[in-house]
Amino acid sequence: MSETMKLVLNVWRQPDATTKGDFERFEIPDVSPDMSFLEMLDVLNERLTQKGQETIAFDHDCREGICGTCGIVINGVPHGPQKLTTTCQLHMRKFKDGDELWLEPWRSTAFPVIKDLVVDRSSFDRIIQAGGFISVGAGSAPDANAIPIGKEVAEQAMDAAACIGCGACVAACPNASAMLFTAAKVGHLGLLPQGQPERYERVQKMVATMDNENFGACTNHAECEASCPKGISIDFIAMMNRDLLKGAVQHPIELD
């Protein structure tokens, strides 16, 4: 049996996108270090329900670190203090008795708050719609290994494909830039043979959409990489910059 701890939470409460929000303070006297962060919020919400109060809205789905739905900025760090970890995989043993925590939603104009800690990340979907795909004739399933791919390229593409689209990169960036997310998607497809035909068109379309969605401009602070639960490297940003330069000069597309 591990000892319970007492925590103070300051949680961002905002009833809807248009109403002004503010922090609400909660004291929880009996947090078990074995709980996950979201379980701790579940317990708090259950108590709020019993008291007839509005529960805290937060996003979650798989709770095993693979879907990219959860995400809370905890004391200024997206997904909290443990590196390479989503909020749902964070455990309360990372905190100490008496800690005071500030819980905020991802802060970005491109991610408007829907309620409390839940933000609308459909701007990411529109970046994907602009080019985060390959065009193939969809017939029967292709043979595995019909297209040989070198080990190094496969590994690198896999590193980029590990992005779960949670948006922590945007939340962490002092410029609220979406470069790491976009670069991961551009890099993942741009590295593989299946992604080659649309490579230079893709990067231009995805970057144009990223800019239109009101994300900020990267200044290479590298905060995104530090907060990425999948450890996506900013090397993919350099790769995207190079692809965009080449695309814009050699294969310019007409953007509408």
Partner 1 sequence: MRRVFRLYESTIGKKIVMAVTGVLLVGFVVAHMAGNLKMYAGQEKMDHYGEFLREFAAPVLGHGGFLWVARAILLLAVAAHIRSAILLTRQSQAARDVGYKVTTRRESNYASLSMRWGGVFLAAFIVLHILHFTTGHIHPTFEHGAPYANVVAGFTVWWTAALYILAMIPLGLHLYHGTWSMLQTLGANHPRYNHLRRKIALAVALIVVVGNISFPVAVLTGLIK
Out of 59, 116, 159, 223, the residue judged to bind partner 1 by CB under 8 A:
223
Out of 7, 44, 56, 60, the residue judged to bind ligand FES by CB under 6 A:
60
Out of 227, 229, 230, 232, the residue judged to bind partner 1 by CB under 8 A:
227
Interface stretch with partner 1, choices 41-49, 70-78, 161-169, 188-196 (CB under 8 A): 70-78
Q: Does 109 bind ligand HEM (CB under 6 A)?
A: no
Cα-atom radius of gyration of the chain, to the nearest Å?
20
In the complex with ligand HEM, which residue's Cβ is closer, 19 or 220?
220
Q: How near is the Cβ of 221 to partner 1 at its closest, in Å? A: 4
In the complex with ligand FES, which residue's Cβ is closer, 79 or 202?
79
Q: How near is the Cβ of 177 to partner 1 at its closest, in Å? A: 7
Q: How near is the Cβ of 164 to ligand HEM at its closest, in Å? A: 27
Out of 23, 53, 97, 197, the residue judged to bind partner 1 by CB under 8 A:
23
Q: Does 196 bind ligand HEM (CB under 6 A)?
A: no
State the residues that interact with partner 1 by CB under 8 A: 10, 23, 73, 75-77, 102, 104, 107-110, 113, 172, 174-177, 207-208, 210-211, 214-223, 225-227, 234-235, 237-245, 248-249, 252, 255
